[in-house]
Chains A and B, each alone.
Chain A
Amino acid sequence: MSDTETPTGTLRQLWAEDAVKIAALLFVIYAGYLVSGLVLGYSVRGQLNSLASLTFYIGVFATLALALNLHWGYTGLFNIGVVGFMAVGIYVMAFVSKPLYGAGGSAAQVGGLGLPIPVGIFAGMIAAALLGFVVALPALRLRADYLAIVTIAMSEIVRFTFLSSTFQQFQFPTLSGESTRVGFGGGSGLILDFPDPLLAFIDVLGLSGAYDGLVRLVGQVVPNNPDPIVHSLVYGLVLLGVVAAYFWLLKRTGESPFGRVLKAIREDEDVARALGKNTDRFKIVSFMLGCALMGLAGILWLMGQGAVTPNFFRPRLTFFVWIALIIGGAGSNTGSVMGGAVFAAVLYQGPLYFQNVVTSVFQPGDAPGSFGPAISPLLSSADPMPFLLYTLDSVRQLQLVVMGVVLIWLMHNRPQGMLGHRKETAAAIPLGRRGGGAGPESGSSDPDSEPAPQTDGDGTGGAADE
């Protein structure tokens, strides 16, 4: 690190900036997708679609990992009920914002309250935060592993509630004194028949003209029906904006006096309490904030999908978010974003993209329907083709096997995540060896200017990581 003046030194300096790391990672991911698509002769439409869905998943997993990082990375709350808060967010949002039953010739079985979408989003976040309060109030006194079991049980209770026919439809009083038919749709799901949120948002910003121009532009490359492609690409970009907003919010929270108390709680709750902090209150506020952010992430994930079903919110989705957080390294916001991106690109979308590309390029025949017909030709006549086809066809299951193995591998070899030790200390001042060498020696003159506490005393750890 002493060669700060040489060209490699400036490169390293640049690399020490977290924003550069994230940008470089995104660049590598997108380049990887584009190049592999180009090499295999994927169509332009297919390329654009896969980039749009890639952006979408990077966005949602990064937001969720950031919110979870507030719980686990900052406060040390082991929440494995993430899906429960997402579900409450989108369901309450739908409840508030769906048009009234029978209005506008909608085919939906049940209506909503017909309030504007921003009101619905706000209500969804509040509801998720309130559920967080209900869970947190008693559960925070418990050990971490008990909190884990309570939160996952809660997320299942939420799913059963939305699944049950009891709340499929019921009457709800409106302001005018009458009652209207509302509900959560039960197992068959809920149609989200409010106006398209993205278009409404763009309209509010006064950018409809620019959007239409973009549609025409893309229309020159993809002649028929460019609208959905542009829609999903723009939505992905909006999500990346949300990621930036989450990042900023959580960074500010983490560096505030409030955030320092959270980190102190994570390290040693008794010490924090001995210093006169009402740790229960801090934990509850932190938990509720994280839950509201998870609720918003759930809304953003499903708002544009047209419908929502309770079984989308199975516990495995929670574990996806956990894997993303662990890849990036708990305790670091940069790590959360990068973990979300890597998880979305490599583990979540990667295998499906691979399957898509292979099937569209090689056009293989039909895969055997089950393992028996797949394996028997391999055993009897050493013909691996049916087995390979079956494997390709089962990518959705196998990717979960891969995720499990990756999780085990990470916990064995890199429990601190891809960026190395980045846990922020609870202190407001850097705790590293200050007196020892000159300022630049301890490697903190550059990172100090921007992401100060991120690299304190351990600037080499971040920089040495290629």
Chain B
Amino acid sequence: MAVDRPLTVFFAIVGLLLLGSLVWGLLVSGAVTFARLGSLVWDGVMRGLVIGLAGIGLSMTYSILNFANFSHGDYITSGAFAGWATTYAIAGFGRADIGSLLLVGAGGSVLGGALGIGVTTTPVAVVAGVVVAGVFTVLLALAIDRVVYRPIRSESGITLLITSIGVAFALRYLIQFVFGSSVRGTTAAGSIPQVPLYFIDGVVRVDAHDVTLLVVAGGLMLGVHLLLQTTKLGKAMRAMSDNEDLARITGIPTERVVRATWIIGGGLTGVAGYVFILWKGTLGFNDGWLLLLLIFAAVILGGIGSIYGAIAGGLIIGIAASISVLWIPAAFSRAAAFVVMIVILLVRPQGLFSGRSTA
């Protein structure tokens, strides 16, 4: 057994050593408090929910259209900007020039903190923002698919991948052109209600935006699960990701399934972008792109095509990136997530939830 898969054994030993040092730090030397670990895990779960939610869309297009969509990160950014422009316009209506509001305060003209944006202070604006972020990203994804991807649907995955890099460039720098390159604060950071949860030897702070993220992401994940399990659409998607030609012969309207894929994936991605910004409190034109590699890591880790895989992968990647600071400098937390992904690719390239494509 050990001789069969030396690599797996090696990584398992490394993992056990890391775990051992963590347990030692927690129980014996006291270098790590349970509360700190709890806070880091909570932070990782939040990050992981965003990654998982956005990852569902990526995973679906990856398995059904057969290509790694490198513009997915910029769909996240587009959704976030569309949603936040709405939130700014509603929350700041009458208090500032509508142009500056719609540009999400480009050039420092309006500050999100000054508008007092938060889920408890301006609930209507936030809900409207979530909806607009989702709807806008659906429309964007459909439009891009119509113009860019559909004409080359039958090409190889690599051709589509390269094309998606072009889409990513165009979207990202168009956003930068319109909204500027500055990173702006979006929420009234000081006035978000917080609950300190007592956890063994300290507190883990949970604020209203954490809860919002949890509710929105959890609800949408559950919704997608039900949608794909109880309707014919899920079955059609599974059939298509297995064998597209066969699916078409069976009478499955493949183009309609593709459209449904973009609608579900785009919607989730846009909402993920919005709640990510709500949770983190800052917005920049690069945010989605920076998240993209982590999302890829999550999707590959979970197994391409499986939405549960994307969710589980997202949580693992989020938590790994977050708690890695216990062992290595914080500058390497994203690197740690990538290393986790590479290890999974080496040990189990088909992913954790392989064989269960699309729900």
Contacts and interface: CB of A to CB of B under 8 A. Distances in A.
Given A316-B169, A371-B179, A401-B177, A161 B99 contact: no
A154 B334 CA distance: 11
Given A145-B157, A166-B329, A411-B166, A397 B346 contact: no
A403 B148 CA distance: 15
Contact of A156 (B107, B178, B338): B338
A398 interface: yes
B197 interface: no
A160 B168 contact: no
B163 interface: yes
Contacts of B332: 160-161, 164, 166
Contacts of A407: 162-163, 165-166, 169
Interface in A303-354: 316, 319, 322, 326
Contact of A372 (B106, B293, B296, B339): B106
B249 to A, nearest CB: 26
B162 A412 contact: no
Contacts of A8: none
Contact of A405 (B170, B296, B297, B339): B170
B226 to A, nearest CB: 30
Interface residues of A, number: 47
A415 interface: yes
A394 interface: yes
A441 B207 CA distance: 78
Contact of B166 (A78, A164, A372, A404): A404
Majority secondary structure, A binding face? helix
Contact of B170 (A139, A373, A401): A401
Given A165-B331, A370-B103, A403-B166, 14 more contacts: A145-B158, A145-B161, A154-B342, A319-B165, A322-B162, A322-B165, A371-B106, A372-B99, A372-B106, A372-B109, A397-B181, A405-B166, A407-B166, A411-B162
Interface in B158-192: 158-159, 161-163, 165-174, 176-181
A408 B170 contact: yes
A319 B70 CA distance: 12
Nearest to B289: A315
6 contacts: A138-B345, A371-B180, A404-B170, A404-B173, A411-B166, A415-B159
Nearest to A405: B170
A372 B100 contact: yes
B143 interface: no
B251 interface: no
Interface of A: 78, 138-139, 141-142, 144-146, 148-150, 152-154, 156-157, 160-161, 163-166, 316, 319, 322, 326, 369-373, 375-376, 394, 397-398, 400-401, 403-408, 411-412, 415
B335 interface: yes
Interface in B309-331: 329, 331
A69 to B, nearest CB: 15
B339 A157 contact: yes
Q: Which 5 A-B pairs have the closest CB atoms?
A: A404-B169, A370-B107, A407-B166, A404-B170, A164-B331
B113 interface: no
Contact of A149 (B169, B176, B300): B300
A322 B341 CA distance: 24
Contacts of B19: none
B284 interface: no
B124 interface: no
B334 A156 contact: yes
B152 A157 contact: no
A369 B107 contact: yes
Interface in B44-92: 67-68
B286 to A, nearest CB: 10
A24 to B, nearest CB: 28
B342 A398 contact: no
B103 A372 contact: yes
A144 B300 contact: no
Residue of B166, B296, B297, B342 with most chain A CB atoms under a 10 A cut-off: B166
Contacts of B158: 78, 144-145
Residue of A157, A164, A372 with most chain B CB atoms under a 10 A cut-off: A372
B94 interface: no
B169 A319 contact: yes
Contacts of B103: 370-372
Given A153-B297, A372-B107, A405-B166, A163 B331 contact: yes
Given A156-B293, A404-B169, A394 B177 contact: yes
Interface string B99-116: 110010011010000000
Contact of B293 (A153, A166, A371, A404): A153
B196 interface: no
A407 B170 CA distance: 10
B349 interface: yes
Contacts of B100: 372
Contacts of A145: 67-68, 157-158, 161
A177 B64 CA distance: 61
A148 to B, nearest CB: 7
Contact of B167 (A139, A152, A154, A408): A408
Nearest to A138: B346
A411 B159 contact: yes
Contacts of A371: 103, 106-107, 177-180
Contacts of A165: 329, 331
A456 B268 CA distance: 50
A163 B293 CA distance: 18
A150 B155 CA distance: 23
